[in-house]
Structure 1
Amino acid sequence: MPHPLTFVAALRRFRRNRRGSAAVEFAMIAPMFIALLFAILESAMVFFASQVLETATQDSARMIMTGQEQNAGKTQTDFKAAVCSKIPALFDCVNGITVDVRNFPQFATVSLPSPIDANGNYVPPSNYSPGGPGDIVVVRAFYQWPIFVTGLGFNLADVSGSKKVLTATAAFQNEPY
């Protein structure tokens, strides 16, 4: 049987030894730090993608506002192609972007339904009514951005399937073309 003093002495030596404590502390903190880092990067990507979609929508909506789309007899597919031509390789434009164009007689009558239903599902609107001279027009573009960092209470997703619906809107009165 070992002598009790050697066991107590070994415990004292163990308690005083600090080698490896930094590695243990890093192993405890690293997963949370890495998750926070990925959440920050994902948030930045979502905001960047949202801004790209907003810019493309604003630029494309100008063609409706000036009457170019209406005079050329363009369709919703043509307008969507115009929006997609202004977006770099950040989106799956052909299958992912949805455009919704509605006209109203005056700003007070503008009423837009949400593309997200009560169950949290994305229901893409598919209207294309660019209106005529002097009409109020609201152009909206939607894209479902995939979200990867959803743990630790951080979740940007607002529809089922861990996706965030990015929305870009342009509201204006058509010029008298």
Structure 2
Amino acid sequence: MPSHIRSFSQLLRRFRRNRGGSTVVEFALVAPMFFALLFAIIETAFMFFASQVLETVTQDSARMIMTGQAQNAAYTQAQFKNYVCSKVAALFDCTKISVDVQSYSQFSNVNVSNPIDASKNFTAPNNYSPGGPGDIVMVRLFYEWPILVTKFGYDISNLNGSKRLLSGTAAFQNEPY
């Protein structure tokens, strides 16, 4: 057999055995789904972390009211929000945090209304009633968290504009200060 035919048949055999190009094609098919899933997992984890930070800030800030410090200092809603903002990490834009403080005479009177309407709009409650000694108080903080991966089909938003409403709640009875 002439050498040029033998080298061509060897080239064909090597081409059939070589699977290097198929790896690139397989990766091109799988990579978009892999990266979309990876970014969705990262975004969800980051959102849950932010939610936990907001919950912790709510608990820490509510202690000011529970111990009577906010009432004795005659805090207004703006002053209480400034106190909340002093505890917030760089994770949040403090101007976008909504504060809701309501007091009740007993736990059975507590009303936790949903601040999201049927059209997926957030209506921020604008209450500040820290109550007196022995009153039942509910402190809620809200933050509209932007969602980025929603555009790729993973939708965890519960508000218009690709946002998720994060909330932190603390319900307690004021100490007899």
Taking structure 1 as the reference length, the TM-score comes to 0.89
Matched, 1:61 2:51: no
CA-to-aligned-CA distance 1:35-71 (integer Å, 9 cap, x gap): 0000011011101101111111100100100111111
Separation in structure 2 between the aligned mates of residue 38 and residue 153 of structure 1, nearest angstrom: 12
Separation in structure 2 between the aligned mates of residue 144 and residue 61 of structure 1, nearest angstrom: 20
Identical counterparts, % of pairs: 64
C-alpha RMSD of the superposition: 1.7
Separation in structure 1 between the aligned mates of residue 14 and residue 78 of structure 2, nearest angstrom: 73
Give, as a single letter, the amino acid of the residue that structure 1 aligns with 2:25: V
Give, as a single letter, the amino acid of the residue that structure 1 aligns with 2:39: F
CA-to-aligned-CA distance 1:138-173 (integer Å, 9 cap, x gap): 000000000000145421110000000000000000
Give, as a single letter, the amino acid of the residue that structure 2 aligns with 1:123: T
Matched, 1:108 2:136: no
Matched, 1:146 2:126: no
Give, as a single letter, the amino acid of the residue that structure 2 aligns with 1:72: A
Give, as a single letter, the amino acid of the residue that structure 1 aligns with 2:49: F
Separation in structure 2 between the aligned mates of residue 57 and residue 18 of structure 1, nearest angstrom: 57
Separation in structure 2 between the aligned mates of residue 59 and residue 156 of structure 1, nearest angstrom: 28
Structure 1 residue 112: Cα displacement = 1.6
Give, as a single letter, the amino acid of the residue that structure 2 aligns with 1:54: E
Counterpart for residue 169 of structure 2: 169
Structure 1 residue 77: Cα displacement = 0.6
Give, as a single letter, the amino acid of the residue that structure 1 aligns with 2:24: A
Q: Taking structure 1 as reference, are residues 66 and 19 closer, same or farther at Cα in structure 2, changes over 3 Å only?
A: closer
Runs of 5+ consecutive residues of structure 1 not aligned to the other structure: 1-8
Structure in which a larger fraction of residues adopt helix: 2
Separation in structure 2 between the aligned mates of residue 131 and residue 77 of structure 1, nearest angstrom: 16
Structure 1 residue 135: Cα displacement = 0.4
Counterpart for residue 36 of structure 2: 35
Counterpart for residue 52 of structure 2: 51
Structure 1's consecutive aligned runs of 4 or more residues displaced over 3 angstroms after TM superposition are: 12-15
Counterpart for residue 5 of structure 2: none
Separation in structure 1 between the aligned mates of residue 100 and residue 159 of structure 2, nearest angstrom: 19
Q: How does 1:110-129 map to 2 (within 5 A)?
A: 110-129=110-129
Runs of 5+ consecutive residues of structure 2 not aligned to the other structure: 1-8
